[in-house]
Chain A
Amino acid sequence: MNTPLLAIDHLDVSFQFNDGKYKALENITFSVADNEVVGIVGESGCGKSLTAQAILGILPENACIDQGSITFKGANLVELEERKWEDVRGKSISMIFQEPMTALNPLLTIGKQISEVLKKHTNLSKAEIRERTIAMMREVGLPRAEALYKSYPHQLSGGMRQRVVIAMALIVQPDLIIADEPTTALDVTIQAQILELFKQIKETRKASMMFISHDWGVIRSICDRVLVMYAGRIVEEGSLSEILQNPKHPYTKGLIEAIPDHRKRGKALFTIPGKVPPLKERKGGCPFTDRCSRRMNICAESFPDSVTFDSNKEQTVNCHLYSKEGVLTS
């Protein structure tokens, strides 16, 4: 079997507060293969962005990795020395954030910001750097690249700023691109343009991507495989079509049913009662128990092991409703 580009194994991350230590990520295990786009969905506060931060080694100061490993191209990032991180961050793995205005420096020109990465990570001459930067700007669909090279972020529209951020992420030809809600702050038509650009990148660059979003529409248009996260755990994993058409976990089912669309007009929308438990109020057992319409006694006692299905080995779910053989027990 091929070794995946990125493999995360039994990763636990916790936050240290004055009153104690709280686990924010628990037993996160997944992998991203070459040229694969993996989506992570879940409500706010489920640990989607924290997972990305752990991979990039940019966890908040009061957070630490308790156990587990993050293996990227054969090296364990958890044990990496700080100075070696520079070869990974921004070079092999790049990150695209939600709000392009805050991700860009308002005082530097677009050209300077995009080429900065090249200056840092390559030995190219000034002319070559400029040439590559302009070529990159064209590739991400920025018009009049030469003129834009000297513009400042505030002179650009939201869609163009996001293209600049994408250009910054791509210019070093990373092996893995992590995009955290990259289209959430954009209008629908601009969102469509940016998603189209990501699809193009997926095809031409053969890069692997991790796409974090709470928007199923976005996940649906680009991902090959989907992880569903809830309260710091992965509760379901599978191919995009399988998750959308045949969700197993009550949480995944709820999230999909809550999406409004024209076919549900006149009917009340399905809702998941309650909210994601805050970090300090998480108990043992399955964290979804209190909000689950199908909870059983065992749910509050232990977190369920992951179950795979005979019909589809790719899909796994962590729910007591499914026994080891993947037959509904209740």
Chain B
Amino acid sequence: MTIAIVEVENLHKHFKQKSSLVKAVNGVSFTLYEGETFGLVGESGCGKSTTGEVLLQLTKQTSGIVKYKGRDVTSFSKKELKNWRKDVQIVFQDPYSSLNPKKNVGWILNEPLRIHQIGNRATRFEKVLRTLEDVGLDASYLERFPHELSGGQRQRVAIASAIILDPVFIVIDEGVSALDVSVQAQILNLLKELQRKYKLTYLFISHDLNVVQYFCDRIAVMYLGEIVEIGKTEEISAAPKHPYAEALFSAIPMHDEDDRRIVLEGDLPDPSNPPSGCPFHTRCAYALEICRSEKPIARSVGDGTHKVSCHLSVPVTCRNLSKTEQ
């Protein structure tokens, strides 16, 4: 039986700027189940990271609901909120800026235990050592400072500080993007191992589709604050249905066995002034008249877990034909 850990319903996050309103997250809904890795992909500025931050209540949503194990997180009392913070953690892209440069590894890992008043001095030390071992480091690292560590070691420390409170759910925001491929592989293996060992649920935010396809069970593709396609990794990577997802997956350099790369024109539109209708119509090769005026509604394809928001109902492979017919 799969248990829903985090449920997100019609989430909006808008930022006010001088004269405009940036709709960073514009109505996303999804559910994360226990033990799964859910990937959130898209270009910079599409709202992936903001979604992750709202999930952890690092920033409050403008509207919509975030539920943790069935309960609305905004209904938590102050005490409940503090307890909940033990269950949910985050690992950032660049551990150099997320680890305190003036404190050594032992202090950094001890801090969350101290804040939540867990155990006594001796048991806390014990826990720090065990967690260091969990991430493949040893006691010799206790006295070291972040600048004395390599990128991979720093990321291991960041992961250690995320798992030290025995969380349920971790947001990994571009957690391996800054690493060399050989180190990246080590960290990905470590995350998988920890997930199996502690039944962790991951929200994996990344722009690197090779990594996402390898690592995630399900994927949501975001564009301008909206999820345009969501489904099982195998289904989306084998046959993406949304033209944006199609272009995104064809653009993976390692993927182009047959060199069938779709190069999208232009950049991401300004999120404070998004296009009318379907947000993707300005860059879409298949855009129809209706795409300019009407926003598509998510519809199911296949077994119902795979959803796509696009007006086109023809499979991607036939679309070139339908385009010439118009």
Contact = CB atoms under 8 A, between A and B. Distances in A.
Interface of A: 43-44, 143, 157-160, 187-193, 195-196, 214-218, 220-221, 254-255, 258-262, 264-265, 268-272, 275
Contact of B264 (A189, A195, A258, A261): A189
Nearest to B180: A43
Contacts of A193: 263-264
A220 B254 contact: yes
A215 B267 CA distance: 23
A44 B178 CA distance: 11
A221 B264 contact: no
B84 interface: no
Interface stretch (B61-69, B96-104, B181-189): B181-189
Nearest to A265: B214
Nearest to A258: B185
B290 interface: no
A44 B151 CA distance: 10
A258 B213 contact: no
Interface string B260-280: 010110111000000000000
Contacts of A195: 253
Interface stretch (B20-28, B114-122, B244-252, B308-316): B244-252
A254 B182 contact: yes
Interface in B165-218: 180-186, 188-189, 192, 207-211, 213-215
A244 to B, nearest CB: 10
Contacts of B247: 189
Contact of A188 (B185, B186, B233, B252): B252
B300 interface: no
A218 B181 contact: no
A258 B263 contact: no
A184 to B, nearest CB: 10
Contact of A259 (B207, B210, B215, B237): B210
Given A189-B251, A262-B214, A270-B185, A160 B267 contact: yes
A221 B214 contact: no
Contact of B213 (A43, A190, A196, A262): A262
Report which residue of B186, B214, B248, B268 has the largest number of chain A beta carbons within 10 angstroms of its beta carbon: B214
B207 A261 contact: no
Contacts of A254: 182
List of 8 A-B pairs having minimum Cβ-Cβ separation, nearest first: A217-B253, A260-B214, A192-B251, A262-B213, A258-B185, A269-B185, A217-B254, A187-B43
B296 interface: no
Interface string B214-242: 11000000000000000001100100000
A187 B41 CA distance: 11
B185 A191 contact: no
Nearest to B150: A275
Contacts of A215: 181, 253
Contacts of B237: 262
A159 B283 CA distance: 15
Report which residue of A160, A193, A269 has the largest number of chain B beta carbons within 10 angstroms of its beta carbon: A269
A190 to B, nearest CB: 7
Nearest to A244: B254
Given A188-B43, A265-B213, A268-B189, A255 B267 contact: no
B183 A275 contact: yes
A216 B181 contact: yes
Contacts of B182: 43, 254-255, 258, 271-272
B184 A192 contact: no
Contacts of B214: 260-262, 264-265, 269
Given A187-B207, A190-B267, A260 B185 contact: yes
Contact of B184 (A189, A258, A262, A264): A258
Nearest to B261: A192
B215 to A, nearest CB: 7
A160 B151 CA distance: 29
A261 B210 contact: yes
B152 interface: yes
Given A195-B253, A220-B254, A259-B210, A268 B192 contact: yes
Contacts of B268: 157
B74 interface: no
A37 B26 CA distance: 44
A157 B45 CA distance: 11
Given A192-B251, A259-B254, 11 more contacts: A43-B183, A44-B180, A187-B207, A188-B209, A217-B252, A260-B215, A261-B254, A265-B233, A270-B185, A272-B182, A275-B183
A119 B17 CA distance: 40
B248 A188 contact: yes
Nearest to A197: B263
B256 interface: yes
11 contacts: A43-B180, A44-B151, A143-B266, A192-B251, A192-B264, A193-B264, A217-B254, A260-B211, A265-B233, A268-B189, A270-B185
Contacts of A191: 251, 253
B210 to A, nearest CB: 5
B83 interface: no
Contact of B181 (A190, A214, A275): A214
B44 interface: yes
Contacts of B150: 275
A215 B211 CA distance: 13
A270 B183 CA distance: 10
A157 B150 CA distance: 31
Contacts of B184: 258, 260
B185 A271 contact: yes
B283 to A, nearest CB: 9
Contact of B152 (A214, A258, A270, A275): A275
Report which residue of B181, B254, B264 has the largest number of chain A beta carbons within 10 angstroms of its beta carbon: B181
A159 B210 CA distance: 21
